[in-house]
Chain A
Amino acid sequence: MKRNWRASTPLALGAVAIVLLVLPLSVKSAFVLDIFIRILLFAFIGTAWNLMGGYAKQLSLGHVAYFGLGAYTSTILQIDFDISPWIGMLAGGVVAALASLPIGWLCFRLRGPYFTIATIATAQVLMLIFLKFRDFAWGAEGTTIPNLGNAPLMMQFDAKSAYYYVALGLLVIGLAITWLVERSFIGYYLVAIGENEDAAEAIGVDAPRMKRDIYMISAFLTALAGTFYIQYIYFIDPATAFNFSISIEAALVSIVGGIGTLWGPVIGTVLLETTSALLQSWLGSRIGGIQLTVYSLILMAVILWRPTGIMGFLREMRLRPWRARPAQA
């Protein structure tokens, strides 16, 4: 039974891929397409967060620092130096990865909630820096991205569906990296660190180095999302690029979907973003704050009843004793 399920996985993945590729062609509504793009983008941010926050259980709530650094790096390069955001995106990733070194050096001295608080603080400090230094980052007013019409080389497209494909590409990259990590010793090491850092050290795991390296990768990927988002909305200011809710969302979609699993952040994002979009379109502004209330309720329900998230729930379902199981013992 298990073998059948495994064998059908590539088929299922193929089917999903085709649906995802054709989807924007059949959707005419810009509103719906926007929701799809948001889902892909936040699934990608969640996937980047999950590498460190999920597998190694280093609960960062400061990932927006790298989102913002990526956004500002590519925007500064584009506006001041006329460099394409495609290159700026990679440059932003490098800047974020480098920034994660001193930030990690500071924050990883702390464990548990203290680590989390320290990551929040570093993101806030970065936002303040971009808020105060008007000379190189336009201060609080921010700036609009010059509209060049349809300029794919400058990451600007007439068709909204093009943004959809870029976001999809990012998500595929994030999932591929996660898949590789999960299937190598790195995945084992990260989970071991998350479970018990001392025990991991005792069997030869260089925990500080592993955490530093995975934090760099996570920061790099998060920065790519920052560049994309700013190019998508054509506007940047510190409040947008360093919005605390992005840090929250990155952690939230992973926790709801199932931390430390490949598909957890994707499933979590689909659930949360769809719920929020539906609530918005049905209720609009009639009941203020309803969206946040529902978010909180979902989070509470997951933490109370299914701390392993939706993925954990599905796995338990599959392992129920009354289900046919492959002969083992």
Chain B
Amino acid sequence: MAEALVIRNLSKRFGGLRAVQDVTFSVGENETLALIGPNGAGKTTSFNLITGFFRPDAGSITAFGREIVGLRPHDICAHGLARTFQVAKPFGAMTVLANVMTGAFLRDKRIEAARQKAREAIDFVGLSAKEQTPARDLTTIDQRRLEMARALATEPRLLLLDEVMAGLNPSEIDQAVALIGKLSKRGLTIVIVEHVMRAIMAVARHIVVLDHGQKIAEGSPREIVEHPEVIRAYLGSGYAHVPASEAR
């Protein structure tokens, strides 16, 4: 399988804090990879490094065969990497349609073409009924949907989703999981940062676990929930129901 994203020995420190230390992993094309770990493990920092918001102190990031360290966020987006933010950042004064059109302009500067593409993306995330709503009036899940539609309108090949399910109720989580499944079927490579384990198990084929900025484990969902180091650092012994039930 061709690699969409290859991260080698990535490091970033903020003063005395080593936010990301020597992290290496890669994502194959059309694969869905989950990045998990406790708060402060360096997940969002990794996202910011990959998307050009922070500059790494060391290491390399190759996306679709091109080194992207040093590129600015908008260049990285033009290269096919789109992201959402942990705290949604909608353009509050603009309507949903205008928000998504702004993303669509990356590939086509004509108003009509952008509007059409934006409508497709809005329809895809199920927000068509609220097309004319100002973004600031949306609920949390709709703001997340909007962020996804806006990212999709830039026609990415790799989508980085930062905690899109935080604060959603169980049925909303199911909707979000279905949406991510749909995106994956369209051929997108997805990297997802998430705390909702139920969702991760449903969407991810591969999981990378970070703790204190370091990679402590990597593998399939089943391997990860049984990994003693992951249970100690993140999941807690209560979560290890799979091996526990087998042991009984």
List residues of A whose CB falls within 8 A of some B CB: 183-185, 188-189, 191-192, 195-196, 198-207, 260, 328-329
Bound form: Cα–Cα A46–B53 in Å: 34
Bound form: Cα–Cα A329–B72 in Å: 40
A203 with B106, Cβ < 8 A, contacts A188-B101, A198-B85, A329-B129 known: yes
A195 with B93, Cβ < 8 A, contacts A188-B98, A204-B74 known: yes
Closest partner residue, chain A, to B91 (CB atom): A195
21 contacts between A and B (CB under 8 A): A183-B111, A184-B111, A185-B111, A185-B114, A188-B105, A191-B91, A192-B99, A192-B102, A196-B89, A199-B89, A200-B102, A202-B53, A202-B74, A202-B85, A203-B103, A203-B151, A203-B154, A204-B106, A205-B74, A205-B106, A206-B72
Closest partner residue, chain A, to B81 (CB atom): A202
Bound form: Cα–Cα A206–B76 in Å: 11
What's the minimum C-beta distance from A178 to chain B, rounded to whole angstroms? 16
A185 with B85, Cβ < 8 A, contacts A203-B150, A204-B74 known: no
B244 at interface by CB-CB < 8 Å: no
Bound form: Cα–Cα A183–B109 in Å: 11
Top 5 nearest A-B pairs by Cβ distance? A204-B106, A199-B89, A195-B91, A201-B73, A204-B77
A191 with B94, Cβ < 8 A, contacts A202-B73, A204-B74, A207-B74 known: yes
B153 at interface by CB-CB < 8 Å: yes
| Chain B residues closer than 8 Å to A199, beta-carbon distance | 85, 89-91, 150
Bound form: Cα–Cα A328–B73 in Å: 37
Closest partner residue, chain A, to B151 (CB atom): A203
Bound form: Cα–Cα A162–B129 in Å: 53
Bound form: Cα–Cα A208–B142 in Å: 29
Bound form: Cα–Cα A195–B92 in Å: 7
B51 at interface by CB-CB < 8 Å: yes
Bound form: Cα–Cα A185–B108 in Å: 9
What's the minimum C-beta distance from A213 to chain B, rounded to whole angstroms? 14
Question: With contacts A199-B89, A203-B103 known, what are 5 further pairs, Cβ within 8 A?
Answer: A195-B90, A202-B82, A203-B154, A204-B77, A329-B129
Bound form: Cα–Cα A206–B91 in Å: 16
Q: How large is the interface on B (under 10, 10 to 19, 20 to 34, 35 or more residues)?
A: 20 to 34
What's the minimum C-beta distance from A195 to chain B, rounded to whole angstroms? 4
| Chain A residues closer than 8 Å to B102, beta-carbon distance | 185, 188-189, 192, 200, 203, 205
Bound form: Cα–Cα A45–B82 in Å: 39
| Chain A residues closer than 8 Å to B39, beta-carbon distance | none
Chain A interface main SS type: helix
Decide if A185 touches B105 in the complex (CB within 8 Å).
yes
What's the minimum C-beta distance from A214 to chain B, rounded to whole angstroms? 15
Closest partner residue, chain B, to A205 (CB atom): B74
B197 at interface by CB-CB < 8 Å: no
Bound form: Cα–Cα A196–B102 in Å: 12
What's the minimum C-beta distance from B243 to chain A, rounded to whole angstroms? 40
| Chain B residues closer than 8 Å to A184, beta-carbon distance | 109, 111
| Chain B residues closer than 8 Å to A204, beta-carbon distance | 74, 77-78, 103, 105-106, 154
Closest partner residue, chain A, to B129 (CB atom): A329
Bound form: Cα–Cα A329–B101 in Å: 20
Bound form: Cα–Cα A205–B102 in Å: 8
Bound form: Cα–Cα A205–B82 in Å: 12
Residues from 124 to 144 in B contacting A, C-beta threshold 8 Å:
129, 132
Q: Which of B53, B82, B105, B150 has the most CB of A within 10 A?
A: B105
B83 at interface by CB-CB < 8 Å: yes
A202 with B83, Cβ < 8 A, contacts A184-B111, A189-B105, A191-B93 known: yes
What's the minimum C-beta distance from A20 to chain B, rounded to whole angstroms? 30
Bound form: Cα–Cα A183–B114 in Å: 13
What's the minimum C-beta distance from B162 to chain A, rounded to whole angstroms? 11
Bound form: Cα–Cα A223–B132 in Å: 38
Closest partner residue, chain B, to A188 (CB atom): B102
